[in-house]
Amino acid sequence: MSETLIIFSRYPEAGKTKTRLISALGAEGAAELQRQMTEHTLNTAKKFKSSRDITIEIHFAGGNKQLMAEWLGKEYQYIPQVVGDLGYKMRSAFERSFNLGNKRVVTIGIDCPDINQTILTNTFNSLQTQDLVLGVAADGGYYLIGLNHTIPQLFQNINWGTEQVLNQTKNIANQLKLSTNYLPTLSDVDRPEDLVIWQKYL
């Protein structure tokens, strides 16, 4: 049974990443935070992989495959993100993975440093019996989504980047009668006031 963890990230170029934090950190500082949080998330994934046979894919924006591999290592698959909104990017990532024969696929970003091995274990285990797993984000979105088959409707007609994302996704899941497991509520690091969340990892 093939399992894949997809990490969405961006090459850390000043002025092009973590833009909502530039007012607090400056362009270079925001890019440095992007670098640190990506490495933190990947380290969590690597520890998880040491105890479970999963594939790790990094879907990236900015830079190129060579720059990503020089930064994070050559042992991972680097997939350029498709053009489109977040929903289309995630939908495409899931469809690609399931078309390759994977049975359980989980997607995370790098904005939630509290994601840990226990959460990932619970997610993949849940997908043996549940259609959908969602990690509830404190800002009204979600920090993780896991599926065991393609469900394109979950990524359509969503107001991405707003506090409505989770509720809109829940409504779609209910309409489709999906069996769903909700993970504990965690916070993303998106705005200057969120930086305190990251401080404990420094």
The answer to whether position 202 is within a domain reads no
Q: Which CATH number goes with the domain that contains 110?
A: 3.90.550.10
**156-189 burial, b if ≥16 CB within 10 A, otherwise e?**
eebeeeeeebbebbbebbeeeebebbebeebbbb
Band (1; pLDDT cuts 50, 70, 90): low
The answer to whether position 80 is within a domain reads yes
The answer to whether position 119 is within a domain reads yes
Mean pLDDT of 138-142: 96
Mean pLDDT of 158-177: 97
The answer to whether position 200 is within a domain reads no
Instruction: Name the domain count of the chain.
Output: 1
Residue 124, token pair as written in the block? 């993949």
| Alpha-carbon span 56 to 61, nearest angstrom | 17
The answer to whether position 153 is within a domain reads yes
Mean pLDDT of 111-136: 98
85: CB partners within 8 A, 6+ apart: 160
Mean pLDDT of 65-77: 96
Strand pairing report for 55-61 and 77-80: parallel
DSSP 8-state secondary structure symbol assigned to residue 51: T
Q: Which residues is 182 bridged to in the sheet?
A: 134
Strand pairing report for 132-137 and 142-147: antiparallel
pLDDT digits (tens, 9 = 90+) for 21-55: 999 999 999 999 999 999 999 999 999 999 999 99
Residue 92, token pair as written in the block? 């495409």
The answer to whether position 65 is within a domain reads yes
| Phi, psi (rounded to 5 degrees) for 27 | -65, -45
Mean pLDDT of 115-135: 98
The answer to whether position 201 is within a domain reads no
128: CB partners within 8 A, 6+ apart: 104, 148
Range of the domain at 104: 3-195
Average pLDDT, the chain: 96
The answer to whether position 25 is within a domain reads yes
Give the DSSP H/E element, type plus range, for residue 126: helix 117-126
Site of tokens 């399992």: 3
Which residue, 68, 127, 126, is CA-closest to 94? 127
The pLDDT, as a whole number, for residue 202 is 83
